[in-house]
Amino acid sequence: MSEKVPNSAFVTVGESAKTMAAVEAGTAPGAEYAMLRRGHFSEVLAMVDRGANPGSTAETAQFAASAYWATRKRDNVYLGEEFPGIQYLAVHALLRSAKRVAMLIHNTRSLRRRLPLVTLGLRHAMHHVLCLSRQSKVELETTYGIPASRITVVGSRVDTTFFAPDPGVATKVQVCSAGAVNRDYRTLIEAAAPLGIPVKIAADTAWRYSTGEQTAEPVPDFVEMRSWGSYVSLRKLYAESAIVVVPLEKPILSGVTVVLEAMAMGKPVILTHNGYVEDFLVDGENGLFVPSGDSASLEKKIRHLLDHPAEAERMGQRAREWVLERFTVDRYVDKIIGVWN
C-alpha cells in the first residue's frame, strides 16, 4: 500500500453502503474510493455517509462548507470530485487557511467546471490538479491557465481481479457495448446491420446522450438494448462477446470505463477516436480506433476481427497485459498519493 498522506483529508461523494458491501462480496468492482478510505488519508468525508444527496446543489454546498470546517486543521486535502470540490474551493478562496488542496477534474470541457475555476479564479485556490488524459492536461494549461507543474495526469483505473478473462464462458459471434452517456449507437447499429450478427447493448434507454435527450426510437430485431442489471451480468456479457465496441458521439473523455473493463476481460475493443481517449488504446496493437460517425469503417473493422479470430484473440491478450501494466486501481491510487510526495 502507498504511504499515508500526513495530516490529510479525502473529501468526496463516496459510495453507498450497499455498493461497498457488493465490492467486499466480490459482486461489484472496486475503485479508488474503496482503497483510499482504508487509511491513505487521516480522515475521509463522504457525502453519502452523511445522508447528503449529490444531486442537490444546495445539499452539496452545505456538505462542502461543513467539510471545510471539519478539515480546517488539515495540511493536505484531496477533492475526489468536482462537486463538492468546487464548492469546497469557494470556501477555501474566502478563508485561505494554510493547506494544500488538490482536486481531480474529470471533464475539462465542461462549462460547469471551467466557469467557476477560470472566471471566478478558483483555480488559484488549488495547489495541484489531477486529470485523466494528456489532452485534458493540455486544456487545463491553455484554457484554464494552470501551469503544467501543477498538473498530474492520473489516467483511469479498472478492477483487474473482478474484470478478468473467464475461460468458463463460451465466446459467441456477437458484438456488445455498454453505457448511455455520449454514445453513438446509431453508427454501431448501421455498421452491424450488414454483418448478420447479434448486437447486445447494456444501456437503460435506447437513445440517451449527455444532453439527456431521449426518444422512443425502436431498435432493429438483431439489437438487444436494456439494462443488464448487475456488474456480474455485465461481466458475463463481455465474456461471451467476440468484440466490444465503444462508439462515441462528442469528442470528450467518455467511454473509458467500458474500454478498460473490456480490455481487462481480454477482449478486443473498437473505440471512436478523439484526443481525450488516445491514452487508453494503441491502435492496431491492443485495440482499434475508428473515425467518429463512420459506420463503413466500423463495419470493416468488426468484420476483420470476426474473420480473423486468432488475431482478435491476440489483440485481447495484449489488451489485458496493457491494463495490468498501466491501469490497475493500485497504480491509480499511487499517482494520486504521489501528488503529496
Express each pLDDT in 10-19 by its tens digit.
999 999 999 9
Domain boundary among 154, 182, 213: 154
- Confidence tier at 215 by pLDDT (50, 70, 90): low
Q: Does residue 300 share a domain with residue 176? A: yes
Measured CA to CA in angstroms, residue 8 lies from 77, 82, 196 at distances of: 6, 18, 56
Average pLDDT over residues 328-337: 96
Q: Give the helix ranges, DSSP H, for 97-250.
A: 111-114, 134-142, 185-192, 231-240
Q: Does residue 198 share a domain with residue 113? A: no
Report if residue 3 sits inside a domain: no
- Say what the pLDDT of residue 341 is: 82
User: Could you tell me the pTM of the whole model?
Assistant: 0.94
Domain boundary among 125, 154, 183: 154
φ/ψ bin of 96: left (φ > 0), alpha (ψ from -120 to 50), beta (otherwise): left
Percent residues over pLDDT 70 in the chain: 96
Percent residues over pLDDT 90 in the chain: 91
Q: Does residue 77 share a domain with residue 212? A: no
- Say what the pLDDT of residue 39 is: 85
Q: Does residue 96 share a domain with residue 48? A: yes
Radius of gyration of the chain (CA): 21
User: What is the DSSP-derived secondary structure letter of residue 275?
Assistant: G
Domain boundary among 126, 154, 182: 154
Q: Does residue 60 share a domain with residue 13? A: yes
Residue that has been written with the C-alpha cell 456488474 in this structure: 231
CATH number at residue 130: 3.40.50.2000
Report if residue 1 sits inside a domain: no
In this predicted structure, the answer to whether residue 254 has a pLDDT above a threshold of 50 is yes
Q: Does residue 106 share a domain with residue 15? A: yes
In this predicted structure, the answer to whether residue 249 has a pLDDT above a threshold of 80 is yes
Q: Does residue 61 share a domain with residue 186? A: no
Q: Does residue 176 share a domain with residue 149? A: no
- Say what the pLDDT of residue 96 is: 83
Work out the number of other CB atoms within 10 angstroms of the CB of residue 327.
Answer: 21
Count the domains in the chain: 2
Domain holding 176, by residue range, is: 172-325
In this predicted structure, the answer to whether residue 145 has a pLDDT above a threshold of 50 is yes
Report if residue 45 sits inside a domain: yes
Q: Does residue 295 share a domain with residue 194? A: yes
- Confidence tier at 210 by pLDDT (50, 70, 90): very low
Residue whose C-alpha is closest to residue 211's, from 110, 94, 332, 84: 110
Q: Does residue 176 share a domain with residue 113? A: no
Q: Does residue 142 share a domain with residue 224? A: no
Mean pLDDT of the chain: 94
- Confidence tier at 38 by pLDDT (50, 70, 90): confident
Q: Does residue 16 share a domain with residue 132? A: yes
Q: Exposed, middle or buried: residue 166 (CB in 10 Å: 0-12, 13-18, 19+)?
A: middle
**97-126: pLDDT as tens digits:** 889 999 999 999 999 999 999 999 999 999
Report if residue 340 sits inside a domain: no
- Confidence tier at 217 by pLDDT (50, 70, 90): low
Are 339 and 3 contacting, i.e. CB atoms less than 8 angstroms apart? no
